[in-house]
Homo-oligomer: A and B are copies of this chain.
Amino acid sequence: MSAFPCNSLTEASASWLGSSLVSVRQLSPGGLRLLLSVSSEMKQLVRLHGGDARLQHRVLSNVFYEASTRTSCSFQAAMLRLGGRVVCVDAAHSSAKKGETLADTLRCLECYADVSVLRHPVTGAVGEAAGATVKPVLNAGDGTGEHPSQALLDVFTMEDELAARGGLRGKTVVLLGDLKHGRTVHSLAKLLARSGIEDVRLRFCSPTQLPMPQEVRDEVAEFGLPMEDFTDLKEAVAGADVLYVTRVQKERFESEALYDEVKDLYIVDKAIMDVSPETMVVMHPLPRVNEIATEVDADPRAAYFRQMENGMFVRMALLALVLGKSGV
């Protein structure tokens, strides 16, 4: 797996080609800028023609060691819309059961495929697998580790939704919910930090028991982004440009009592929207349970289903870039 320490789009294009994507830490500002730009082209392509045939005769091996309908479907659809083909591996039933290592499994699968997408419950497993293979491996989530394509689609959505106002530059992003356990918000904060997009301000709004971890704060601080903590949602949204809502996941809590205490603390509903800025973008990685009321869905600021769609465009861009078919 290679890093992407590039500053020009041409360099960035060359550094994507054939590379695995394991962590947002691999991304340089130039590499990210290229990805966002190709993602925009993919959005146009799907709007105009549904897709094209640039990846014809290419095969994606979609390997999920734990179920993730959304991410799996998004990568599948991304490959298919570029004319490629997909072989899905329900890895729960794979040869792992026969005592095979993950590295061997991935080396076998790359015999058939040109690129692999891998989801695995163990943190670091995807990096290990990517180290054993010749062809690119894209991390679709490894345990409490990383989920880089999610962070990428989140940043793309912010840039896209804020396009008329000059993009993310100089904007304020609120991360809301269980910030202690949320893999998504950790990756997103780290990616925003190293994005090269200037003057982004972060607000962390969470129950006091579930703060953004120090390790993430340290990494953000390294890149100089201002951070502020909130417990009151109304205060947090005042003057905000993006509200990124996350689900409080029961399975992450040690005690049922603590879960019950915090689960309904932040509900984004019409009342909250009424006191929020008129241009504030509301995002959510989905699925949601009740943390965003369905009455908000019709609000033009509710961007979460568009965000979901953007996931496909960003994954189309990823596949095109690592397979050398981005057109750049």
Which residues of chain B are near A87, meaning CB under 8 Å?
73, 76-77, 80
Which residues of chain B are near A252, meaning CB under 8 Å?
none
Expressed in whole angstroms, the minimum distance between the Cβ of A31 and any Cβ of chain B is: 25
A57 to B82 Cα, complex, angstroms:
8
Q: Cβ of A305 and Cβ of B49 under 8 Å apart?
A: no
If A57-B50, A73-B112, A114-B50 touch, does A85 touch B81 (CB 8 Å cutoff)? yes
Which residues of chain B are near A312, meaning CB under 8 Å?
111-112
Q: Quick one: which of B50, B74, B289 contacts A99, CB cutoff 8 A?
A: B289
Q: Cβ of A104 and Cβ of B73 under 8 Å apart?
A: no
Which residues of chain B are near A311, meaning CB under 8 Å?
111
Q: Cβ of A89 and Cβ of B112 under 8 Å apart?
A: no
If A51-B57, A112-B77 touch, does A98 touch B287 (CB 8 Å cutoff)? yes
Q: Quick one: which of B57, B59, B104, B287 contacts A286, CB cutoff 8 A?
A: B104
Expressed in whole angstroms, the minimum distance between the Cβ of A289 and any Cβ of chain B is: 4
Q: Mark A158-188, 1 if CB is under 8 A from B, else 0.
A: 0000000000000000000000000000000
Interchain residue pairs A-B with the least CB separation, the first 7:
A50-B57, A100-B287, A77-B112, A51-B57, A80-B85, A111-B309, A67-B93
Task: Check: A260 CB closer than 8 A to any chain B CB.
Answer: no
Apart from the given pairs A50-B57, A57-B81, A111-B309, 6 other A-B contacts in the complex at a CB distance below 8 Å: A69-B90, A99-B289, A100-B287, A100-B289, A108-B305, A111-B305
A256 to B69 Cα, complex, angstroms:
39
Chain A at the B interface: SS class? mixed
Q: Cβ of B112 and Cβ of A94 under 8 Å apart?
A: no
Bin the interface of chain A by size: 35 or more
Task: Check: A217 CB closer than 8 A to any chain B CB.
Answer: no
Nearest neighbor of A309 in chain B, beta-carbon distance = B111
Task: Check: A58 CB closer than 8 A to any chain B CB.
Answer: yes
A67 to B223 Cα, complex, angstroms:
48
Q: A residues 24-61 with Cβ under 8 Å of B?
A: 49-53, 56-59, 61
A99 to B247 Cα, complex, angstroms:
11
Task: Check: A14 CB closer than 8 A to any chain B CB.
Answer: no
Nearest neighbor of A286 in chain B, beta-carbon distance = B108
